[in-house]
Copies of this chain bind each other. A is one copy, B any other.
């Protein structure tokens, strides 16, 4: 089996019980950790930043390779991780793949860090 652990654990659980107020179950903990793990790589953080600041709040993958200084396969890999973590949405338009931030998911993540 291919065990894409990020996708398997991050999405099913709604995420995000507040870390600072309520007791976390082990499932909630794993889900939250997976979401933060997606944000823990500088290249992915830069990709999210580039997409969020692009015109219309969306960007084509073709415009994301050069600014990161990484190879195309590496960028493709990181975009997949961000999508599977629910932080970006992906839409295919002909040959091109367009990405946009998933604001609901980001809101939920932010709430998890909100004090009681």
Residues of A within 8 A of B (CB): 19-24, 26, 29-30, 32-34, 36-37, 39-42, 44-46, 48-49, 52-53, 101, 103, 106-107, 109-110, 113-115
Contacts and interface: CB of A to CB of B under 8 A. Distances in A.
What is the oligomeric copy number?
A: 2
A99 to B, nearest CB: 14
Contacts of A39: 32-33, 36, 40
Interface of A: prevailing SS: helix
A53 B21 contact: yes
Contact of A53 (B23, B48, B107): B23
Contacts of A22: 53
Contacts of A24: 45-46, 49
